[in-house]
């Protein structure tokens, strides 16, 4: 069983650029048991954000490292105290079948006409982030091959509706606010309005 204990922890910067690209919350491996894969971050009353964990040994205990993009999304400030609770996804209800991203360069001033193949991007995204926790409105950083960094805003998430499973009919999907992606999740990229990103592929 995953412990439901709430940890009082403090926000720090992500230790490295490489770890920022994981889009995970970075913690000391001694602060959580091996079975804890996800956490619910609560910076204030009624505020809850789901993150996958990356555990390392060289991070101060009692702290959580977040990238600038993550801190902006969850409205976190350096040294802020937050409540962190281990979280377990519902295996039957929280598996995302489709995610669509509004896509743009992370650096808005980037100007290039180099094509970005959305089909290749989808395969690479799943390779990098299978098992990731996603929430509608969340922003992710995506390093696709050796190209410019992309910012991905989660636009829509679809998951299997558990109420339609097991009645002999084809299971239906429903829009959800959060969930986790797996290896067979369909990933779609849509170019953000006014973006100069040259996005090409079946789902563009």
Under 8 Å between Cβ of 181 and 129:
yes
The pLDDT of residue 202: 64
2 part of a folded domain:
no
The pLDDT of residue 1: 37
Report helix, strand or coil for 86: strand
108 and 161 in a single domain? The answer is yes
Q: Which of 10-14, 91-95, 123-127 has the lowest mean pLDDT?
A: 91-95
Task: Kindly report whether the global pTM for this prediction surpasses the value 0.85.
Answer: yes
22 part of a folded domain:
yes
51 and 131 in a single domain? The answer is no
Tell which residue, 121, 118, 152, 122, has the closest CA to residue 137. Answer: 152
Asked if the model's pLDDT at residue 91 lies above 90, the reply is no
Element (H, E) at 19: helix 17-20
Asked if the model's pLDDT at residue 204 lies above 80, the reply is no
Final residue in a domain of this structure, among 87, 119, 143: 87
The pLDDT of residue 203: 53
> In the structure encoding, which two tokens stand for residue 141, read together?
């950083």
Final residue in a domain of this structure, among 87, 106, 132: 87
The pLDDT of residue 18: 94
CATH number of the structural domain spanning residue 44: 2.40.40.20
1 part of a folded domain:
no
114 part of a folded domain:
yes
Under 8 Å between Cβ of 197 and 152:
no
Q: Can you spell out the DSSP letters for 167-196? A: SSSPPPEEE-SEEEEEEEEEEEEEEPTT--
16 and 78 in a single domain? The answer is yes
Under 8 Å between Cβ of 173 and 99:
no
Average pLDDT value over all residues in the chain: 91
CATH number of the structural domain spanning residue 168: 3.10.330.10
Residue 152 lies in domain: 95-200
Q: Which of 96-110, 136-150, 163-177 has the lowest mean pLDDT?
A: 163-177
The pLDDT of residue 2: 47
> In the structure encoding, which two tokens stand for residue 62, read together?
């009692």
How many residues are recorded in the chain? Answer: 204
Final residue in a domain of this structure, among 62, 87, 112: 87
Q: What is the pLDDT of residues 39-89, one digit of tens each?
A: 999 999 999 999 999 999 999 999 999 999 999 999 999 999 999 999 999
């Amino acid at each position: 069983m995953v412990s439901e204990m709430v940890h009082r922890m403090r926000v720090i910067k992500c230790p490295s650029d490489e770890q920022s690209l994981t889009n995970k919350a970075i913690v000391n491996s001694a602060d959580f048991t091996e079975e804890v894969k996800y956490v619910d971050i609560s910076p204030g009353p009624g505020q809850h954000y789901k993150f996958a964990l990356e555990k390392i040994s060289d991070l101060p205990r009692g702290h959580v490292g977040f990238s600038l993009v993550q801190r902006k999304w969850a409205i976190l400030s350096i040294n802020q105290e937050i409540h962190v609770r281990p979280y377990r996804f519902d295996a039957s209800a929280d598996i995302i079948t489709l995610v669509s991203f509004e896509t743009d360069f992370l650096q808005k001033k980037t100007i290039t006409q180099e094509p970005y193949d959305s089909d290749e991007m989808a395969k690479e995204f799943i390779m990098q982030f299978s098992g990731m926790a996603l929430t509608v409105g969340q922003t992710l950083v995506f390093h696709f091959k050796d190209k410019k960094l992309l910012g991905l805003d989660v636009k829509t998430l679809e998951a299997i509706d558990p109420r339609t499973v097991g009645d002999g009919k084809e299971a239906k999907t429903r829009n959800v606010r959060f969930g986790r992606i797996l290896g067979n999740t369909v990933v779609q990229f849509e170019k953000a309005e006014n973006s100069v990103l040259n996005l090409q592929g079946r789902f563009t």
